[in-house]
Every structure is written in structure tokens, then in C-alpha cells.
Structure 1
Amino acid sequence: MAAGGRASGRPAKKKGPAKGTGGQKRRSLEGKGATPPAHMRHWFKDKSREERIAREAKGGAGRQPARQRRSEDAPEYIGGRNPVLEAMLAGVPASALYVAQRLENDDRVRDSIKIAAEQGIALLEVSRDKLDRLTEGAVHQGIALQIPAYDYAHPDELVTLAADAAEVPLIVALDGVTDPRNLGAIARSATAFGAHGMLIPSRRSAGVTGGAWKTSAGTLANLRVARAANLTAALREYREAGLFVVGLDGEGDVEIGDVSLFTEPLVVVVGSEGKGLSRLVREQCDALARIPMQAAAESLNAGVAAGVTLYEVARHRRG
């Protein structure tokens, strides 16, 4: 073998890609160009979604996951020793009574437990953390009452209730009242002054929730609440059935003490504190009544305005 030469019989290797590779090994070392933007990467959205879900499951690095909307069929909870006992004494339909572990009993707790046993309501001992979750952080004082989702009536049923009692119909309608506590307070006044029911719209309105039950002090057990898909249409149908509609308005053209329609079949419409009656509802009113107040006084909230007006209705009907 010559110095610096190759072994005899072995061919020298040729420069360039090996046969059959097509030069892929060399091209694999070459860059693939700039990374495409996110919207052109088909995997980007799915990957970012998976990462977001994982963050939310762990608490989201300081961000809380979106709160799920309560189903209309989900049960409600009344918390607090006085509200629970009042609701049970009023016969509010209930499915379970939750009592905190190692709770110091007083007369209200003992009476609630006794009523639950007599009425066959399930009694459950739970932690305070669970009570916090059930009542969504409201003050529960170690006790909460579970009530089923409210079974709303049809608007026509309220007129039927008055006819069955051989009385002049009196219905309270709420327009834009979104605070359940106001709904409960109005229900309390409506029951006290002989209303046959309450009408609420199905959207953008408070419903019969645990907060409403609590404020009503159990009176919602004796007052039917109807719900309409369209409040304006429901008021129009009431008028066609022979009822008059009186709306409460701070700039109404007549004082409530001078309304002549209070002795007739009647619907009293209460608006929200901020916006009052909506334009379409105002157009369905036979009269707009105002509550006279001193110039320095602030406007009344929906619950107080409803109570004052319903008292006037009752006074006119007695007279």
C-alpha cells in the first residue's frame, strides 16, 4: 500500500449526498424560516385553551374562574336564625335544614330543629365552610334552610285567585326591580294589604330567591308570584280583561291619595329606584301616580313606595 494512499480494492468515497437520500440530511440542517404568527398555527388556540383551563383549575395565578350561572331549577337557601325560624313557622316549603357542627343552640335553633322533625324535613349537620358555600357567603349564623326552586304562576292565575275569593282584583307588578330584598319587602306589603299576587318579568328582574324569602319574613308562602315573558304584553292583556293599570312615578300627574281607580280591578306597577318605569310600561298605564313628599326628602325606594301605595289602595277600598 502506497504511503498516504487507500487500501487496494476499496473505492474512494464521492463527495455529495449518499445515493438515495435526496440530500435530506444536509437540508435538515437548514432553517425552516420564520415562525408563523399565532393565528396561522392550527395548534395554537387549542394549546392556549388547555393552558387556561389548567390555570383556572389551580386558581389561575391570582385570577378566579368565572362564576357559574345558577340554574333556575337549583334550590335556594335561607340563612340566619330568625329568617329560618320565621320561614318554617310561615310554612315555607323546605327540603332540608342544615345546621353547623358544634353549634351553640338557642331557642330559635331548637324550635327550627323541632319543626323540621315534625314536618319530616331532612336535618343535616355540616361544616361552616359548606354553609358558607350554600348561602354564597351570606350571614347564616350556623343554620340554613334549603327550599326548592319557586314554581311561578301564569299571570292569568292571579285574576282567577281574586275571582275565586269573590274580591276585586289587586295585583302588584314590578318593572326593573332587580334587588331580591326589594321584591321580598314588596311581597310583605302586598300580603299585608290584601293583594292577590305579584307579577314580575322573566328577564332583568329579581326572582323569588333565598334573599327574597328572607326579606319577606315568610309572607311569600301566602302570596302567588307570576312571571311573564313580556311584562308590557301581560299588562295589555290585563287591561283587555277589564283591569286598570296605575304606575308609580315621581312625576306623575296625580297624587296617590286622589287616584279614583283604586276601588276598581287594579294593577299597581312599581318601577326601579334608578330608572323608574320603562317607556313601554308607562304607555300601558291608565294613570301615573306620585307620592307627595317634602322638597328636601329623597325619593323612596321601591319597597317603601309600594307599601305606601298599597295602604292607600286598602284605605280607599275600606271607605
Structure 2
Amino acid sequence: MARKNKHKGGANPNRPRFWGKHAVAAALDNPDRRVLKAWATREAAGFMQFPSEMPVVMAEAADLGRLVPHDAPHQGVVIEVEPLEDQWLGDVLSDAPERATLLVLDQVTDPHNVGAILRSVAAFGAIGIVTQDRHSPPEGGALAKAASGALERVPWVRVVNLARALEEMAEAGFWRIGLAGEAKDELKDALGPARIALVLGAEGPGMRSNIRDHCDALARLPISDSIESLNVSNAAAVALYAASVA
């Protein structure tokens, strides 16, 4: 699906630009990622280990700043890439081990949050994330920077119908837990089955009612009464940790 976002510096909207040492190094190390072009300061080019056949344009830091959004921390390197090939839910489910955690996001659209969530998914050994295609951010520089390399390592499945995807997870033996602040049970009490799908909604509205209906249990995080809720990326990290040690 063509994207109509306008990018600075004449970038092709179907070819995102990544920046920052960790995001760029991970993209270069990913055999499934096609890196089309790079811009770098001489200092950054000296340690980024660009392939010999890759066109690299030497540039000053100020010039790189004009290739990315305002104040983006490019750290001396910018690349233009092709988006990764689509991942299929059936493949992720069929490859899942007997004990596995999958993270499901219901209309979480902020790229910084999704990037941070990808990083937590990688850190706690979950098998991937699932989002609705029309209500999730595209691959982009801000998301890749927040993911700190995890975008290249974590399977990310985009589906048309999230409710149907949850049904497929149930058929594959996943116990679906929706996180909701008003839930009666704490997350530790809802955990137990070896295969878990943690479902988080967007900040503010939370999970949609249809998605709630496709969860086997609702649970809350045991946060202090002094704060109403956690940022969705922080909530995901806490939930993933709890699932990893259950």
C-alpha cells in the first residue's frame, strides 16, 4: 500500500530513512534488509563497516541534519532502505516453541512507542508483535531509532483483522490476556499457560470492545494509586518481564 507521507530531503516515501548507529548497524547486519544508499560523516563511515558495493556519500553533520526530521539524533549516519518483506501470522505461530509470548497491539500508532515495544520484545525473548495494518506506524527512522536494532530482529506481523488474528492465536494454543487498568485480577494471576498473547490497547481509549471480547482474560498491572496509568511502552515492558519469569 503506497504511503503519502512527505519526507524531508526528497526521500522516496516508500523507502524510509534510518539514522543512528544502532539502527543503521542492525539494518546493515540484517540479510533480509536491502540498504540502498548511505550518507555519513568521515568519522562515522570509519566504523560503520559499509559493504564495498554500497554507495556512501560523505557529508558534514549539518548536511545529514537536512536529510532527517528536525533535531533527529542521526549520530553521523543516515541510510535509505527498502521496507522488510511482510511477515505472516501463520508462520510465526507454527514456529512458536511450547513456551512462548506474543505481543498484540490494538491501534497503537506512535512510532516511538512501537519502537520501544519492539526493543522490549527482543529483550525479554518474546516471539514477535502483531498489529493491525491500517492502525500502526510504518517502518521509519523514529521507530527504528527507538527500537535500537530490534526492528531488524523481531518478527512484526501486520494483519487486516486483529480479532481474527486473535482467533488464530487461540487455535494455536495461546492464552490471550488483555491489559486493562480496571480489570479485577492482576497480571500475575492471569498468567499460567505456556503460550501467552499479551494484548495492549492505545493510550487513552485502550482496547476496543471487540478486541476485549477476543481475550480469554483481562488483567491489570499492580501500579501504585499515586499514578493513573503507565505509558503503553512501559506497560508492555513490565508485562513482558512478568510473562518471562512466570
SS of 1:172 mapped into structure 2: strand
Q: Does the 8 Å CA contact 1:173/1:199 hold for their aligned counterparts?
A: yes
Aligned to 1:219: 150
1:269 Cα deviation after fit = 0.8
Aligned to 1:198: 129
- Alpha carbons of structure 1 residues 260 and 69: separation in structure 2 relative to 1, 3 Å: closer
Question: Aligned partners of 1:205, 1:230: CA distance in 2, in Å?
Answer: 13
1:287 Cα deviation after fit = 0.8
Give the alignment partner of residue 80 of structure 1, picking from 11, 15, 20. Answer: 20
The higher radius of gyration belongs to 1
Question: Aligned partners of 1:69, 1:282: CA distance in 2, in Å?
Answer: 32
- Tell me the number of residue pairs that the alignment of Structure 1 and Structure 2 aligns: 238
Give the alignment partner of residue 121 of structure 1, picking from 51, 54, 71. Answer: 54
Question: Aligned partners of 2:112, 2:31: CA distance in 1, in Å?
Answer: 20
Aligned to 2:38: 97
Question: Aligned partners of 1:169, 1:275: CA distance in 2, in Å?
Answer: 28
Aligned to 1:10: none
Matched, 1:252 2:183: yes
Matched, 1:287 2:221: no
Aligned to 1:43: none
1:97 Cα deviation after fit = 1.5
Residue-by-residue CA offset, 1:210-262 (whole Å, 9 max, x unaligned): 2221111102222111110011111122223322111111111211122233x
Residue-by-residue CA offset, 1:257-289 (whole Å, 9 max, x unaligned): 22233x332211111112111111111011111
Unaligned runs of 5+ in 2: none
1:292 Cα deviation after fit = 1.1
Q: Does the 8 Å CA contact 1:246/1:266 hold for their aligned counterparts?
A: yes
- The one-letter code of the counterpart of 1:95 is L
SS of 1:111 mapped into structure 2: coil
| TM superposition score normalised by structure 1 | 0.67
1:181 Cα deviation after fit = 1.1
1:96 Cα deviation after fit = 2.0
1:77 Cα deviation after fit = 1.1
Question: Aligned partners of 1:136, 1:92: CA distance in 2, in Å?
Answer: 26
1:135 Cα deviation after fit = 2.2
Unaligned runs of 5+ in 1: 1-66
SS of 1:117 mapped into structure 2: coil
- The one-letter code of the counterpart of 2:82 is P
Matched, 1:183 2:123: no
SS of 2:139 mapped into structure 1: coil
1:196 Cα deviation after fit = 1.1
SS of 1:235 mapped into structure 2: helix
Aligned to 1:69: 5
1:133 Cα deviation after fit = 5.3
Matched, 1:167 2:101: no
Q: Does the 8 Å CA contact 1:153/1:227 hold for their aligned counterparts?
A: yes
Q: Does the 8 Å CA contact 1:90/1:219 hold for their aligned counterparts?
A: no
Q: CA RMSD in A?
A: 2.7
| TM superposition score normalised by structure 2 | 0.84
SS of 2:50 mapped into structure 1: helix
Residue-by-residue CA offset, 1:59-114 (whole Å, 9 max, x unaligned): xxxxxxxx943699711111234543465467783232112xxx4x44x44211xx
1:307 Cα deviation after fit = 0.6
Aligned to 2:91: 157
- The one-letter code of the counterpart of 2:50 is A
Question: Aligned partners of 1:150, 1:310: CA distance in 2, in Å?
Answer: 25
Question: Aligned partners of 2:151, 2:206: CA distance in 1, in Å?
Answer: 24
- Alpha carbons of structure 1 residues 91 and 298: separation in structure 2 relative to 1, 3 Å: farther
Higher relative contact order (CA 8 A, sep 6+): 2
